[in-house]
């Protein structure tokens, strides 16, 4: 079965016709601005490119065109630019850009927000939220008070990642961490592991809570299901703790910590997964050099970005049917780091 071809966009039409995307939009809407006159030959080139490609205007773009600025704001609680190919936020932004282009919207990145008490804030004395028709919020932890104010003010927004209610329900597109982690635990149990350990980051974010919930729900049949915290900068104490407990598999929330734990185990003459299995519960938040393919889950970041724009446009134009809260499945990564528990050894 062949994969569907990529949808033709206004940018594609503009490139083929040798004009700007704004000109394509004017032709599609059968209008010209007072200060812009479209020459007949230019209009003909655009119409010819439309006919040759079979382009069809997205219905969402049609709805937005007549009543809104078609500007979508993006606010990030952590720095998101510049984004390298392995940056955590990069796939989210790719998905956001792709769907925004599809519906003919421009993106406005809110960069003037000040840092208050160590965190960026949406609301400040000179915030420019109203320049955009609505806003997408990105961040591992999003301020509940700001969500409450957005709800109170009726400003259209969508959070990327599941968020708890904040003075009202929050529209979001998130990853189904609980189900993804539960399936990893079930796989470990089927392979014979009975002493498990969850290695967290000590964060209160909803994504962390969902991972822990999935772990605890699936680990009920295990002999032991510890929870502990460890950091990549010094993974040895965490490794000491889980080995002292006799754990044979570690479910590690932070990818960099998983890499550091594998290195610490190797320094002690232990093998992964021979002596200890290590499973990762998400993608790297920073580029981490490793040649190991860890067993774990991958977050559908690009698709989350795309669907966040899709949900937001529905909130903006009123076409969304009720509150939109979507959880997308995480992808299983087979990897090489989940084996079967070996015979007991002195692993300290």
Cis ω for the linkage preceding 274 (within 30 of 0)? no
Structure tokens at 342: 């070996």
pLDDT at 86: 53
Q: How many CB atoms lie within 10 A of CB 120?
A: 18
pLDDT at 57: 62
Q: Which pTM was predicted? A: 0.78
Look at residue 340 and tell me if it is in a domain.
no
Q: How many CA atoms lie within 13 Å of 178's alpha carbon, on the beta-carbon side?
A: 11
Look at residue 337 and tell me if it is in a domain.
no
Structure tokens at 87: 């940056």
Cα radius of gyration (the chain):
24
pLDDT at 260: 95
Q: Are residues 20 and 76 in the same domain?
A: no
Which of 257, 282, 299 is at the close of a domain? 299
pLDDT at 259: 96
Q: Enter the DSSP assignment of 131.
A: G
Q: Are residues 37 and 121 in the same domain?
A: no
pLDDT at 1: 37
CA 49/CA 9 separation, integer angstroms: 11
Q: Are residues 111 and 221 in the same domain?
A: no
Any idea what the CATH number is for the domain that residue 158 is in? 3.40.50.2300
**Strand 331-333 versus strand 295-298 pairing type:** antiparallel
Q: Enter the DSSP assignment of 171.
A: -
Ranges in the chain, pLDDT < 70:
1-7, 29-36, 56-67, 80-86, 118, 125, 343-348
pLDDT at 331: 96
- Report the domain count for the chain: 3
pLDDT at 82: 53
Q: In what order do the strands lie in the sheet with 224-229?
A: 224-229, 195-200, 249-252, 277-280, 295-298, 331-333
Look at residue 294 and tell me if it is in a domain.
yes
- Could you report the per-residue pLDDT of 51-73, keeping only the tens digit for each? 787 776 665 555 555 557 788 99
Look at residue 65 and tell me if it is in a domain.
no
| All residues at 6 or more sequence positions from 190 whose CB lies less than 8 Å from its CB, including other chains | none
For residues 332 and 183, the answer to whether their CB atoms sit within 8 Å is: yes
Collapsing DSSP to helix, strand or coil, 198 comes out as strand
Q: Are residues 192 and 253 in the same domain?
A: yes
Q: Bin 311: left if φ > 0, else alpha if -120 < ψ < 50, else beta.
A: alpha
pLDDT at 297: 97
DSSP code per residue over 223-276: SEEEEEE-BTTB-HHHHHHHHHTT-SEEEESSHHHHHHHHHHHHHTT--TTTT-
Structure tokens at 27: 């032709």
pLDDT at 343: 62
Q: Are residues 144 and 95 in the same domain?
A: yes
Helix H or strand E encompassing 259:
helix 255-267
Task: Identify the domain containing residue 108 by its residue range.
Answer: 71-175+302-329
Q: Are residues 273 and 129 in the same domain?
A: no
């Amino acid at each position: 079965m062949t994969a569907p071809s990529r949808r033709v966009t206004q940018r594609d039409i503009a490139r083929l016709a040798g004009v700007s995307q704004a000109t394509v939009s004017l032709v599609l809407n059968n209008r010209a601005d007072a200060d812009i006159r479209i020459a007949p030959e230019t209009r003909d080139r655009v119409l010819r490119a439309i006919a040759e490609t079979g382009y069809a205007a997205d219905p969402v773009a049609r709805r937005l065109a007549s009543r809104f600025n078609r500007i979508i704001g993006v606010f990030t609680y952590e720095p998101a630019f510049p984004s390298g190919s392995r940056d955590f936020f990069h796939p989210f932004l790719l998905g956001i850009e792709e769907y925004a282009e599809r519906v003919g919207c421009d993106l406005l990145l809110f960069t003037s927000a000040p840092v208050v008490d160590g965190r960026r804030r949406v609301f400040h004395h000179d915030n420019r939220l109203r320049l955009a028709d609505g806003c997408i919020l990105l961040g591992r932890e999003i301020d509940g008070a700001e969500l409450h104010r957005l709800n109170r003010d009726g400003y259209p927004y969508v959070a990327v990642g599941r968020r708890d209610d904040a003075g009202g329900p929050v529209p979001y597109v998130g990853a189904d961490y609980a189900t993804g982690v539960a399936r990893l635990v079930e796989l470990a149990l089927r392979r014979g592991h009975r002493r498990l350990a969850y290695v967290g980051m000590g964060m209160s974010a909803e994504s962390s809570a969902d991972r822990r919930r999935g772990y605890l729900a699936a680990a009920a049949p295990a002999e032991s299901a510890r929870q502990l915290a460890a950091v990549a900068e010094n993974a040895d104490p965490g490794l000491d703790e889980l080995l002292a407990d006799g754990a044979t598999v570690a479910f590690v929330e932070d990818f960099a910590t998983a890499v550091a734990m594998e290195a610490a185990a190797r320094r002690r003459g232990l093998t992964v997964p021979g002596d200890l299995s290590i499973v990762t519960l998400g993608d790297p938040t920073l580029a981490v050099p490793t040649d190991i393919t860890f067993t774990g889950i991958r977050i559908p970041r690009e698709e989350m970005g795309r669907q966040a724009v899709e949900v937001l446009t529905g909130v903006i134009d009123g076409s969304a049917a009720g509150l939109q809260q979507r959880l997308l499945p995480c992808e299983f990564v087979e990897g090489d780091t989940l084996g079967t528990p070996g015979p007991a050894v002195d692993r300290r």
